[in-house]
Structure 1
Amino acid sequence: MAKHSREKNCSSSVSDSSVDRSRRRFLGATAGASLAALVPASASVAASGETVTIVHDTHFHGRFRNAQEYDLNIARYYTVVEDVLDDTENSLFLGNGDDIAPSMLGLEYEGEHMIEALNYMDVDAVGVGNHEYDFGADVATTRFEESGFPWLVANLLDDTGAPVPGTERWTTLEAGGLTVGVFGLVSTNFHSLTDYPAEWQVLGYVEGAQEAVDALRADGADVVVCASHVSTGVHDTLAAEVDGLDAIVGSHSGIAYDEPEIVDGTVVSEFGDEFAHVGSITLDADGDLVDWRRVDLIPENWSPTDAVDEYEQITARETADIEEDPTLVDLTEKWQGELDERLGQPFFESETDLNGTFDNYAVETGFGNLITDAMATIGDTADVEVDVAVQNGGGIRGGYYEAGPITGAQVMETLPFPNEIEVVELTGQQLVDYLEGAIRPHPSEDYGTQPAIQVSGVSYEWWGHDDETWIDNVFVGGEPVDPEETYYMANNDYVVGNDDILSQAETVLESGQFQGPYVLDVLEEWGTVAPERENRMIRVDEDVGAGSVAREDGKITITAPFPESGTAVVEDSFRAVIRTGDDLAVESVAEGDDTVEVVFDAEALCELVSSVENPVLRVFGGYDPDEEYWGYGFELPTSSGYDYFKLKSSVDAAAVLESGEGADDDDGQNGDGGDGDGEDQNGDQDDGENQDGDDEDTDVSSEKEEDGMPGFGPLAALAGGAGGTYLYSRVRGADDEESDRA
């Protein structure tokens, strides 16, 4: 192919393993500065010397098309890539990994299909991502060896200190008169992300990057670029501490910048993943940014982003107007056609919308409940009674599917990993410890606090702030958890093998069943489903204490203290909940000077409370957080599925039942957290709520409007489908954490 000819001169080196010496830091003075002040006019700079244009960000997840928007596909994406490459004299095409998996196609073909496509696309080099190893090191090595381009990772070494099989640590590429050095970086917590050999070594980000830069400079590189598969927040550290690094392209986070950033002189550029954006940067011989471009691919039912109007370097192209590359169309049919025929038909029907997006990290979803309910039936195959089923949020990778017929492909895209369902035996205390340990607490500007799992058979309140977590009111099958009792939990073998608690538990069932196919079989058998939110995970940001009870004119008013950490309550968000998860929406809410008065229909509330013994009655509601009180230094709430924070007030259920017409707090009806109120076992919050009203908290059909996208920040992206293809740009974050199965 003659579109952008170049020569490849590859070299590699090794280093002893060491600990990660990277540290957190604040942005330098140039970070976030206007590009107008930092970048000269491209024409004048280009005329003064050689430049190289780098088209970057693949991150295909093993897909040939978006899980929901079939017009957004690899055949159109590559047409735009070629257009960008052809518009520049000296150009390179770099990938940043996670190209082999996770997806339905990846699960079916273990990445073989993607190598054929990437070889045709003539990619110059790809940084290794964690999902290249979803099917084990042997499969990954085979795929690397089948590739007509180098896979790069500088900070991952085998047990002898050599580059991991099939890869190089760095390489040099020729573009016009410039030698461009390229190296890859992958997440340092790789052993918990996918199926790497346990004995492989990992170097710290700064150590691995500095060694690569030094070697590439010694090899004569004029410009040095990192094809990154580490989290966005790590880039600040790399820019500050690695000498001689000109640019960082791509990331583990799948973020699309509205413009590149310059951090301590290093260009940082991220243009998303999958097929929604094609981005490029142009550098001069000194590694300085000369120009940049971003093309947004817009399906028929999408609208261009505001950034299209704000930046002359960003353009939008309708997918209907982009000609598909014919070879990639043929490859899609070759690899996708059989699966479409087999799984493209409806397998069951849902009466509610199914949310399979990354919302499953942050909030209880109807689809998460459905998946875990199906997983809980695995015990029926071996006469094992499963008490609890759990699915990690990162293992749910689908789109948002409207109520109606649901295809097999939609379920398989939602559960694309080669994970088998297992059942382990836990004590009640171990179960509580596991649930608490799964929570991701604030501060996190990227993600916000998250429970990070979906559950069946168990409900609890959860809290996560100031790098601490706790849970409270844990019920298994609606009954208080017994710390000494034995419980059986269904989970997937990836989580079981990597969790400190579950990996030490006794395995009572190895089902041999992959999650996707098994769940699909169960749902096909069920035929028609209508999953809803059921208060299985209840977020709490502040426990305000006991609420008092008064009854008058057929109404019961519960008066609770006003949250110290809030500025105003969200009136339509309050509801009463009992231990079974049944709830009742509020009729009205009023703020006092130091109190919140929540009014319910008396008959309905009494019916709710009397439906079970010891109902553990609580009132939950939303409030606007006080930024100064929390002191996180970024705007709250982050867009992790919530528009506000949540309060909890415990209520004496006996006081509700005994309240007479016209009774008030002085008649002995005050709630104090006892008498069936269910005192806190640890304390925490609600995940299954919407942002607009309690009466919709269990309405899955409202999830699409109410739930934000975890990991996005205030300018959250609109989900374009599974695996992180997003139309709108996410705000770049400053958090170094990696997400499981991200």
Structure 2
Amino acid sequence: MVDNHQPVKNVDERRRRLLATVGGVTLGALGTGATGTAAAVEEDTLTILHDTHFHGRFQDSDYPELDIARYQTLVGDLLAEYPNAGFFGNGDDLAPSVLGLEFEGEHMIEALNEMEPAAIGAGNHEFDFGTDVATERFEESEFPWVIANLLTPEGEPVPGAERWTTVELGDHTVGVFGLGVENFHGITDYPDDWQVLGHEEASEEAVAALREAGAEFIVCASHANTGDHPTIASVDGVDAVVGSHSGVVFDEPDESHGAVISEFGDEFDHVGRLTFDVDSGELVDWERLDLYDSEELDEADYPEETDHHTPVDVQDVERDPGVAEIADEYIDELEERLGEPIVESEVELNASFDNYSIETGWGNLMTDLMREVGDLDEEIDVALQNAGGIRSDATYGPGEITGSDVMNILPFPNEIEVYELTGEQLHSYLEGSVRPMPDDFGAQPGIQVSGVSYEWTGHHDDGRARNVWVRGEPLEDDETYLVATNDFVAGRNDEFTEDGLVLHSGQFLGPFVMDLLDEEYETVAPEREHRMIRVDEVVDDVDADGDAETLTLSFAETDAMNAVEEGTFRLVAPEHGVVEAESVSADDGVEVALETEAVLDLFDDANVAELSLVGGFDPDEEYYDYDDSIELPANEMYDHYKVRVPVTAADVRPLTGDVKGRGADDRPDEGRGDEASSREKDC
């Protein structure tokens, strides 16, 4: 199964917004006076190292020298250097990855047992293969898994795990409890009748039990969302919250309600160290180790060294022999199965978390392939893929693509299914997939699609999809369409019903895409098209003027627009092409000039009464009235917002005269022109 959150590795530019969201005061402002490892560390301190969040991987997708064996060496060195130290994980360790899919987490338990963490807070991906497999993995572990807010139907802890526990760090007793997200049912294979408690309730129960057990210091090994941490920290007795579900990277620890909150990313990029005075609970020293590979980066891209940020070149770090032996054995076995090239890509394939924000070539390729599943009498109209299921956060090519690459991109045990949906249901799903503002990541469409094109907008919790086209024709609410998706999406969206199920293919998504590429394609070259068009503002009042050579569309800027982006305007007919603006001026209102003949061709090809003129603009932040900490356009994949201006054939044809033998009223009743796809930087 797959979750719906969006981890990011580099959020330094969002740090100001993030801290405002969690509502705390940074430790820098508190003036701890500590300066990295130079600060004096007394015996009366304890040190917390964190986190794991390995996603079932043994190495970074882009930089394989950043691996779990070198990570363990660094952790071991820190444990030896600081008295009363322990290493705590925050879960999502068993999956998702190709290793996770192949071995269902067995590989990670073997490695983690060698690493000997003090405790790990369980995450949602521990349950990707069901509660029975999760229980087996927890029981195979030689360290405790903790998760305080998940309970069986009988109110018991998850079998094999504990809600909380105490660990001895030197002479000090430390209490630790775990927390998962409150929408646990919606993001993994967790039974409907199993319980999920609220964070505050679970934290209060954990603190009370741990105090009774003699804990001197209490840590939450969190797999909750960043924004939920102040609630957890507000519970009296919580001293520290480490890790998170969100995968963000703090520049420095935060403080909220007297508790320290520390989030230093996931996988192999960072190791966090927090050193506390035991009696006062005060953070007296901290450090973030930033791992990088000098053989893969230019020197200008090396992490910056500060008093608290320590760059670590993994070329200078020896691999821990015990962990390395385990990792290499599993990786070698996997390479034997999947390491051969299966296809060559002529372009770069973007399988990063950009897939939440924009249409990508990879998203277009995989969803196009999903429409080839099964042997149905009718062609599948549409394919839908949730962005959270595109998982490697890496790019591939140009060049050879291996089976391992595809399986790392699509590591979940999700099966392809085909449903019959009405146009109304399809429209509802597209609208529900939009992630609206305000949001830490900005507005996002949240999916990848094939066979369908639409305009989306998401402001002030008003996510909408409009002007929807299916296979080059406008969507009709009462028509039915065959839609391919994965069973994770189908099982969590009301539009997909048992009565509408046409095909349960039995095909896991990753192996299906891998095998189809291997068997049917020598090369691929997917490009971005106008499948998902962002719209932030609509201007209905447009004036048209022109002749047989040039058509000029004029409209007034609205209060939302500081200025238009002159090089971004185009007339769009999804799956039929675009007409790029010949010029744009904004001296007195906005005037967009287009070639008349190209505009008429586009109307003829699309055979519709209305098309969309879209272009970029610089948004007015006061108009949108978001929190001052959110800098528009917020989403880092967009340089600007988009305006839509509807252009009708009735506006255009009376102005153009007889072009190519066509009179002003001569419009084809049927037929399609070339279905040449158009390209743009950000759709």
Q: Same fold (TM over 0.5)?
A: yes
Match of 2:420 in 1: 425
Q: 1:73 to 1:221 in 2, by over 3 A?
A: same
| Counterpart among 237, 246, 250 of residue 257 in structure 1 | 250
CA distance in structure 1 between the aligned counterparts of 2:62 and 2:39, rounded to whole angstroms:
42
| Counterpart among 224, 227, 232 of residue 226 in structure 2 | 232
Match of 1:206 in 2: 200
- Decide whether the 8 Å contact of 1:154 with 1:208 is kept in 2: yes
SS in 1 for 2:679: coil
| Superposition deviation, residue 696 in structure 1 | 12
Match of 2:188 in 1: 194
Map residues 232-631 of structure 1 onto 2, 5 A cutoff: 232-239=226-233, 241-285=234-278, 286-299=280-293, 300-302=295-297, 309=304, 311-379=306-374, 381-398=375-392, 399-444=394-439, 446-503=440-497, 505-524=499-518, 525-551=520-546, 554-593=549-588, 595-614=589-608, 616-631=610-625
CA distance in structure 2 between the aligned counterparts of 1:345 and 1:29, rounded to whole angstroms:
49
Q: 1:297 to 1:505 in 2, by over 3 A?
A: farther
- Decide whether the 8 Å contact of 1:450 with 1:640 is kept in 2: no
| Superposition deviation, residue 470 in structure 1 | 1.8
| Superposition deviation, residue 38 in structure 1 | 3.9
Compute the RMSD of aligned alpha carbons. 2.6
CA distance in structure 1 between the aligned counterparts of 2:427 and 2:45, rounded to whole angstroms:
57
Q: 1:126 to 1:620 in 2, by over 3 A?
A: same
- Decide whether the 8 Å contact of 2:35 with 2:307 is kept in 1: no
- Decide whether the 8 Å contact of 1:39 with 1:289 is kept in 2: no
| Superposition deviation, residue 43 in structure 1 | 9.1
Q: Which runs of 5+ in 2 are unaligned?
A: 1-18, 669-675
CA distance in structure 2 between the aligned counterparts of 1:356 and 1:45, rounded to whole angstroms:
42
What number of residue pairs does the alignment pair up? 647
CA distance in structure 1 between the aligned counterparts of 2:636 and 2:378, rounded to whole angstroms:
36
- 1:173 and 2:190 correspond: no
- Decide whether the 8 Å contact of 2:345 with 2:524 is kept in 1: yes
Deviating above 6 A after TM superposition, structure 1's stretches of 4 or more consecutive aligned residues are 25-29, 41-45, 304-307
Q: 1:274 to 1:606 in 2, by over 3 A?
A: same
* Higher deviation after alignment, 647-656 or 428-437: 647-656
Matched AA of 1:597: E
- Decide whether the 8 Å contact of 1:54 with 1:92 is kept in 2: yes
- Decide whether the 8 Å contact of 1:155 with 1:202 is kept in 2: yes
| Superposition deviation, residue 303 in structure 1 | 5.5
Point out which structure has higher relative CO (alpha carbons under 8 A, 6+ apart): 1
SS in 2 for 1:518: helix
Matched AA of 1:330: E
| Superposition deviation, residue 551 in structure 1 | 2.6
* Higher deviation after alignment, 183-192 or 552-561: 552-561
Q: 1:44 to 1:317 in 2, by over 3 A?
A: closer
| Superposition deviation, residue 659 in structure 1 | 3.0
Q: 1:27 to 1:412 in 2, by over 3 A?
A: closer
- Decide whether the 8 Å contact of 2:21 with 2:227 is kept in 1: no
SS in 2 for 1:564: coil
| Superposition deviation, residue 500 in structure 1 | 2.0
Match of 1:740 in 2: none
CA distance in structure 2 between the aligned counterparts of 1:27 and 1:342, rounded to whole angstroms:
45
CA distance in structure 2 between the aligned counterparts of 1:262 and 1:189, rounded to whole angstroms:
25
Query: Could you state the TM-score of these two structures normalised by the residue count of structure 1?
Result: 0.83
Over the matched positions of the two proteins, sequence identity in percent amounts to 51
- Decide whether the 8 Å contact of 1:579 with 1:616 is kept in 2: no
CA distance in structure 2 between the aligned counterparts of 1:328 and 1:266, rounded to whole angstroms:
34
| Superposition deviation, residue 604 in structure 1 | 3.1
Matched AA of 1:481: L
SS in 2 for 1:330: helix
- Decide whether the 8 Å contact of 1:449 with 1:640 is kept in 2: no
Q: 1:556 to 1:354 in 2, by over 3 A?
A: same
| Superposition deviation, residue 656 in structure 1 | 3.4
Q: 1:581 to 1:57 in 2, by over 3 A?
A: farther
Q: Which runs of 5+ in 1 are unaligned?
A: 1-24, 664-668, 670-674, 677-694, 708-742
SS in 2 for 1:617: strand
Q: Deviations over 1:302-333 (max 9, x none)?
A: 35799954631111122222212222222222
- Decide whether the 8 Å contact of 1:96 with 1:229 is kept in 2: yes
Q: 1:553 to 1:375 in 2, by over 3 A?
A: closer
- Decide whether the 8 Å contact of 2:548 with 2:597 is kept in 1: no
Match of 2:145 in 1: 151
- Decide whether the 8 Å contact of 2:548 with 2:656 is kept in 1: no
SS in 2 for 1:620: strand
| Superposition deviation, residue 640 in structure 1 | 4.7
Q: 1:534 to 1:616 in 2, by over 3 A?
A: farther
Q: 1:42 to 1:362 in 2, by over 3 A?
A: closer
Q: Deviations over 1:256-285 (max 9, x none)?
A: 111111112110001110011111111111
| Superposition deviation, residue 616 in structure 1 | 3.1
| Superposition deviation, residue 504 in structure 1 | 5.2
* Higher deviation after alignment, 291-300 or 45-54: 45-54
Q: 1:185 to 1:28 in 2, by over 3 A?
A: closer
Query: Could you state the TM-score of these two structures normalised by the residue count of structure 2?
Result: 0.90
CA distance in structure 1 between the aligned counterparts of 2:21 and 2:534, rounded to whole angstroms:
32
- Decide whether the 8 Å contact of 1:31 with 1:264 is kept in 2: no
| Superposition deviation, residue 580 in structure 1 | 2.8
CA distance in structure 1 between the aligned counterparts of 2:155 and 2:553, rounded to whole angstroms:
65
| Superposition deviation, residue 552 in structure 1 | 5.7
Matched AA of 2:253: P
